[in-house]
Every structure is written in structure tokens, then in C-alpha cells.
Amino acid sequence: MVKNILVTGANGQLGREIKYVAKNKDYKDFNLFFTDKNSLDITDFNALEAFIKENKIDTIINCAAYTNVDKAEENPKDAYKINTYAVEGLAKLANKYSIVFIHISTDYVFDGQSYAPLREENTTNPLGVYGKSKDEAEKKILEINPKDAIIIRTSWIYSSLGSNFVKIMLELSKKHKTIKVVSDQIGTPTYARDLAETIFKILIAKNRGEGSDGAEIYHYSNEGSCSWYDFAKAIFEICNIDCNVAPISTMEHSTLAKRPLYTVLNKNKIKKDFNLAIPHWHDSLKKCLLQMEAKRGKTHNIGIIGSGFIASGLAKLLDKRSDFKLQYVLTRSDISKRSDFFRPELLTNNLNDLIKSCDLIVECSGDAIYATDCISEIFKANIPVVTMNSEFHITTGSYFVNKGILTEAEGDQPGVEAILKEEVLDMGFKPLAYVNIKGFLNENPIREEMEYWGAKSNLSLEMVTSFTDGTKVEIEQAFVANGLGATIAKEGLLKIKSDSMQEAGEILAKKAKELGMPVSDYVLSSKLPAGVFIVAEHENEQSDALKYYKMGDGPYYIIEKPYHLCHLEIVKTIKRVLRGDGILLNNGTNPKISVAAIAKHDINAGDKIKKGIGSFDVRGKAVFIKNHPNHVPIGLLANAVFIKNVSKGEIVTFDDIEIPNTLAKEVWHKITAIYRQ
């Protein structure tokens, strides 16, 4: 059921980050209304109630606040009006209309005299007007006690958006060689995007009916603690800014409002109740600054995993750009024998070389098991990863969603379909089918033919075989189905033979209508361009305009991209991530579709397969996981020994084989555990 969510204070740091997360995470169950003081005055109870009733609001996230701590001392009336009485009104409306109410409070409700991490039940004793007005609001909420109310106390908020300590320090460093910063106030910086993502996790839990009845207080900040002095030093160290930071005491830094000296928050309760893993403040600061630097045009250090066709092409492209510096290219091959690589000195066999030196890493090995191992280590260092590796995503990618920044790139068909979806939605279309175009298909090719075409195309035997037998396109469209909120019309896909996008598109659109959701599939044609297209519908009121634009009579319209340029387009996604513009495509946290290994011929007990993808023993077929919970995804089928006979055309199961215990195997079983219960 779709929830109508009111977000107040939408132009503040947290409000803007909630908007960013909502846009880039594609929460289909949430319909958000973002308001500021100009569009909705939260101090006007009647206007607030009218808005709630008109828009059928069932959730409120209150980010609105009077946050100028020193000015609050001079304008207590305004501070209490916004921070206390408006919040009281919100709580009353939440109680009256059974609305989920999330209110953001502050560490300044404490006096800072305790030097152990503060728990929710610790006695509050605010020192100034700002803290007192927020403390009174908490008491009003607890007194009214709406059924689903959550108060989140947080501390030292910053973001790449809005005004905050991080931006102030960066600006001051341009004007001063030495900056004096308070060193005896201890707390924890909170990256607003981390808090925004946590709020969505809480909403999802509430949507599932989790959480206790009645108002609850939770503490949230990033992990760790520091002083403002430590915080400032970390900012300059991460940005390589030569600016001296001189520590001073609170007594030496005169302010109108008295600040608490210690407000480190204990977060055990929120971590336990909502199963959260909270990043350390230094790691989140680095992530935020990386995005801010991308917007300022800084040169970023890039690493590449893989040294084949895609990786080498990307490496050559990056090597000629001034905005990126290619640091290392990770390969599993013998470097001494890689004279074919354009700059052999960039090659390394050590992943740590990339982790220690890179701002972002591109994974394009095409190997699900290897990519799983690498990305697991990269995420420990909080480094963003861009992939061109559908094989990885469809096999284990779901495990890594929300554990770090991970996205498939533009260039290969899934990424191109994802970016095309963004364009289609912006134009007001409703996608019905995501369609790949494939020029040929032979599900059981012979080795001699594949060797010929591999040599002719300068592609590996495995790659050209997986293209030919349909494994690659089945993987791509299964990935698209999971990642773009679609399904497949049937296992093995429809694979429509047609030289007309319109004809094939209408078949797929009608199937989508029949199923009640978009479908992912492909068209077989030697005449159509090597690209992708989306079949979509639009409002009837736009039909005349679309006809004028030569889009046809409708009701189904074809929006195509007639090319995909693989490694040449990866750069667009690298820049997207560094700008902080969000994930383009991942496999989702709860995948429905997988790609099973299907025997190309009778396989006997004792037979071995070195690698399933691109082999002459098995091919890939898109399947519903719920129908085949024990199937072996083809990306996991490596160094396998068959312990049972498998007939031609049968799906290979875990009962049929023995494969090494790898992280990828462990992760796959975690992802699919729900289907085996």
C-alpha cells in the first residue's frame, strides 16, 4: 500500500537529503510531499490539518526547526513557536488521524556533564533556548503519545547540501592559514544522508507493522566521537588542504548560547530495533567530501578491476582525461606476459594497491565470484564501486545493496535501459517493457565456430560463446527485471523474432498489461540496431502531441537508444557517482529472477566444468527463484564436479554438483534463504 508522506523543512540539510534518497532509491511504496515554510506553515494548525486531509497524509517526517542556536537566545519566542508549539500541533494531528510521526530532535537537550555515551533514558537538562525548545517538544510528543511516533535525537549534522560546519571550514581555509577551533566539546558528526537513509529504513519497518505502539525516543549519529577540532582537521586531511588548525577551549570561544561539552549518543537501541549498521563518522565525511570535490572539478583517482576488452578500453580513455587519474588496473594474469596492455606499469595483482590509492573503483571482470570477493574488500574501505558486470549483479549483487555505493554503469544494455527509463519517466511516460535487441541466437554453438568469431572480433572464447548461446542476454534482462521493478513474461524469456520494434513492442506491452507490471525481454533481429528500447504509454491528453512528434498513434510508444558503447559510456556513471547523483542500477534487495544453468548436453557424474558462463556444457536461462529455489545460478558454476547425471535441457541444482565454498556461494544462499523456508 502506497504511503503519503509529508516532509516538512524540505529545504534544510536533512530535508534535501531525504529528497535525494527518495529520488535515487526509487521507493515505490512512498509518495512524498516536500514542503517548506513558504508552501506550508507548520505553525498554522488549521492550514496543516487541511493539507493533511486533502492529501490523505499518513506519515509525517518533521525536519522543520529553528536551528540558529545563538539567535534563539535573542528570539526565544520564534524558537518556541517553531520548535515546540508547531511540533505539539503536529503530534496532535498525528494522534487524531493515526499518522506515523517522525520528529527530529537534538543532542542539545543534554547539558554535557556526563562523559559516557548518552542513552535515550538519560535525564535531559538543556543549557540554552534552542535546547530547551526542542526538549519541550519532546515532552509534548510523549504526553500526547501518538501511536506511531518516533523522536530521533541527532548531533552535528552536515551535508554536501546547505550550510554547515564542513562548508564553513572549507571556506575559511581559503582565507586563513590558521583557523582556531574548539577542542573541548566532544560529540559525533552526522552525515545527513546517512540519517535520511535510516529514516527510510524505519518507514519500511513501520510499513511492515514493526515497532512498538506509542511514542519512542531513539538516538542516531554516525559511529565514533571527536571534538570540533578533530572534525576540522579531518576535513582538511581528507581534502589535502594545507591549513593549520589551532585548538582552543570553549571559554576562549565566546558565544551567546552555552554549548554542552559532551553529547556522544549511545545508538544501541536504534541499531537493535531496526537492524542498522551505522558508518563511522570519518568514513561518511570522506564520502560527503568526495561528492563535494566532484562538483568542484577535482581530479579523482580511479582504479579498474579486469584487464580484458572492456577494462583496457576504459583504461585508455581515462588515461587521456585531465579530470581523472588512472592509478592501477587489477589483473589476475601474469603481468610479465602482458605486453599487449597499453601501459603495463599500471597493472597489479594486488587489490590493496587500488584500495589504498583510489577514490572510486570500476569492476568489469565479468566474473561473479571474483567480483564478490573484490567488492567485499573494497566496501570495508568505503570506496564507491561502478560496475560493468551483469553477471555479478544477478548472482550476488543484491547482498551489497545499501552496504555501500554500488551501481552498474551506462554502456552495457542494462545500464542503458536504466538511463533510458529515467528519461522516459521525466517525459511523463509509463514504461511497460524494457527491451534488448539481439542479432542472433544459437543455444548450442560448436567450438570451431566460436573460436573463429572470437578471433575475428578480438573477444575471448567465453565471451563470444555466452553472447551466441543467449546466456549474456538472459543475464542482462533478468538483471533489468530485478533492478527496474519489472518481471519476465516466462522463464527463458519470450525472445520475439521481429524486425519491427513497434510490432514486438505491442506484443510485450499487451503482456505487461496482462501481468499488471512491466516486463523485461529481448527481440531477435539481424536488421534492428544494436541498442535497446522501452515500450511505454502516456496520458490520452498527450496523444495529439505525440502523433505530431511522429511517435505514432499510440497507445504504445517506442523510445529507443540505437547504440550502446560499453566502456566509452562508463565515464558518465563515474561522474554521476562522484557528483553524488545516486545509483543508476542495482539488482534490488529482494530479487525475484535468477539465471539458472541449463545442460546443453547430457552431463555425467564425474564430469567437471571450469566455468559455466561461456562454456559448451551449460547455458543460462532466466527463471523465477521461487520456482527453482535449489537451482545453481550460472555465475556460481565454476570449478564444479558433477556428482549426479544431468540430462540435456535440465536445470543444474546444488544436489547435482560440488563447488568450492566461496563468499559468492555463501552470499547467494543468504539472498535466497527466504525461498527455501
Partnered with residue 7 across adjacent β-strands are 34, 61
At residue 356, what are phi and psi to the nearest 5 degrees?
Answer: -75, -20
Going from the C-alpha of 142 to that of each of 73, 90, 137, 267, 660, the distances in angstroms are 25, 12, 9, 20, 55
Closest listed residue to residue 613, CA positions, set 635, 588, 642 = 635
Closest listed residue to residue 583, CA positions, set 382, 371, 290, 386 = 386
- Cell readout for 366 is 565479468
| DSSP H helices in 526-662 | 543-548, 567-579
Q: Collapsing DSSP states into helix, strand and coil, what is residue 227?
A: strand
- Dist CA 371 CA 393 (whole Å): 9
- Cell readout for 491 is 522463464
Residues 6 or more apart whose CB falls under 8 angstroms from that of 255 comprise 69, 70
- Dist CA 341 CA 326 (whole Å): 14
| DSSP state letters, 194-258 | HHHHHHHHHHHHHHTT-S-SS-EEEE---BS-EEHHHHHHHHHHHHT---EEEEE-GGGS--SSP
Question: Is 130 designated active site?
Answer: yes
Q: Are 365 and 632 in contact (CB under 8 A)?
A: no
User: Which residue's C-alpha cell is 505514432?
Assistant: 552
Q: Collapsing DSSP states into helix, strand and coil, what is residue 375?
A: helix
Q: Given 20, 27, 80, 130, which residue is catalytic? A: 130
- Dist CA 398 CA 47 (whole Å): 43
Q: Collapsing DSSP states into helix, strand and coil, what is residue 121?
A: coil
| Active centre residues (catalytic) | 130
